[in-house]
Amino acid sequence: MRHYILLISGKVQGCHFRVSAKSKAESLGIKGLVKNLPTGEVYVEAEGPDERLEEFVQWCEEGPCFAQVKNVNIKEVALKGFKCFEVVR
Protein backbone atom coordinates (compact mmCIF):
# COMPACT_ATOMS: atom_id res chain seq x y z
CA MET A 1 0.00 0.00 0.00
CA ARG A 2 1.15 3.50 -0.88
CA HIS A 3 -0.23 7.01 -0.61
CA TYR A 4 0.49 9.53 -3.36
CA ILE A 5 -0.29 13.20 -3.66
CA LEU A 6 -0.71 14.18 -7.32
CA LEU A 7 -0.68 17.73 -8.61
CA ILE A 8 -2.03 17.68 -12.16
CA SER A 9 -1.64 20.65 -14.49
CA GLY A 10 -2.81 21.52 -17.98
CA LYS A 11 -6.39 21.87 -19.16
CA VAL A 12 -7.74 19.79 -16.29
CA GLN A 13 -10.64 21.85 -14.99
CA GLY A 14 -14.00 22.08 -16.74
CA CYS A 15 -13.49 18.70 -18.43
CA HIS A 16 -15.03 16.32 -15.85
CA PHE A 17 -11.59 15.38 -14.51
CA ARG A 18 -12.74 15.05 -10.88
CA VAL A 19 -15.81 12.91 -11.61
CA SER A 20 -13.86 10.75 -14.05
CA ALA A 21 -11.01 10.34 -11.53
CA LYS A 22 -13.51 9.23 -8.88
CA SER A 23 -14.98 6.65 -11.24
CA LYS A 24 -11.55 5.32 -12.23
CA ALA A 25 -10.36 5.23 -8.60
CA GLU A 26 -13.44 3.35 -7.46
CA SER A 27 -13.07 0.81 -10.27
CA LEU A 28 -9.50 0.14 -9.06
CA GLY A 29 -10.28 0.15 -5.34
CA ILE A 30 -8.29 3.36 -4.78
CA LYS A 31 -9.26 5.52 -1.80
CA GLY A 32 -8.65 9.24 -1.38
CA LEU A 33 -9.90 12.54 -2.76
CA VAL A 34 -9.77 14.88 -5.73
CA LYS A 35 -10.35 18.64 -5.87
CA ASN A 36 -9.82 21.64 -8.11
CA LEU A 37 -7.31 24.24 -6.97
CA PRO A 38 -7.64 28.00 -7.57
CA THR A 39 -4.42 27.77 -9.63
CA GLY A 40 -6.24 25.74 -12.31
CA GLU A 41 -4.61 22.49 -11.24
CA VAL A 42 -6.24 19.35 -9.89
CA TYR A 43 -5.10 17.96 -6.52
CA VAL A 44 -5.44 14.23 -5.81
CA GLU A 45 -4.65 12.11 -2.79
CA ALA A 46 -4.74 8.42 -3.63
CA GLU A 47 -4.08 5.30 -1.55
CA GLY A 48 -4.04 1.73 -2.69
CA PRO A 49 -2.08 -1.37 -3.61
CA ASP A 50 1.04 -0.60 -5.65
CA GLU A 51 -0.11 -2.04 -9.01
CA ARG A 52 -3.56 -0.43 -8.88
CA LEU A 53 -2.14 2.88 -7.71
CA GLU A 54 0.31 2.87 -10.62
CA GLU A 55 -2.58 2.19 -13.02
CA PHE A 56 -4.48 5.13 -11.51
CA VAL A 57 -1.44 7.40 -11.90
CA GLN A 58 -1.15 6.35 -15.56
CA TRP A 59 -4.82 7.25 -16.04
CA CYS A 60 -4.21 10.67 -14.41
CA GLU A 61 -1.39 11.30 -16.89
CA GLU A 62 -4.02 11.11 -19.67
CA GLY A 63 -7.23 12.11 -17.87
CA PRO A 64 -10.69 12.05 -19.43
CA CYS A 65 -11.10 12.64 -23.16
CA PHE A 66 -11.48 16.45 -22.99
CA ALA A 67 -8.51 17.00 -20.65
CA GLN A 68 -5.07 18.06 -21.83
CA VAL A 69 -2.70 16.97 -19.08
CA LYS A 70 0.66 18.75 -19.26
CA ASN A 71 2.30 17.49 -16.06
CA VAL A 72 1.69 15.21 -13.08
CA ASN A 73 3.82 15.89 -10.02
CA ILE A 74 3.86 12.88 -7.68
CA LYS A 75 4.86 12.85 -4.05
CA GLU A 76 4.69 9.79 -1.80
CA VAL A 77 3.55 10.45 1.77
CA ALA A 78 2.43 8.41 4.79
CA LEU A 79 -0.81 6.43 4.58
CA LYS A 80 -3.91 8.19 5.93
CA GLY A 81 -6.40 5.32 5.84
CA PHE A 82 -9.05 6.82 3.57
CA LYS A 83 -12.32 4.85 3.57
CA CYS A 84 -13.58 5.94 0.12
CA PHE A 85 -12.71 8.19 -2.83
CA GLU A 86 -14.49 11.52 -2.84
CA VAL A 87 -14.77 14.66 -4.91
CA VAL A 88 -14.11 17.69 -2.71
CA ARG A 89 -15.72 20.94 -3.79
Annotated active-site positions, please? 18, 36
Separation between Cα atoms, residue 74 and residue 84, nearest integer Å: 20
Calculated CA dihedral for residues 58, 64, 70, 72, nearest 10 degrees: -40
> Please, is 6 exposed, middle or buried when counting C-beta atoms within 10 Å of its C-beta (0-12, 13-18, 19+)?
buried
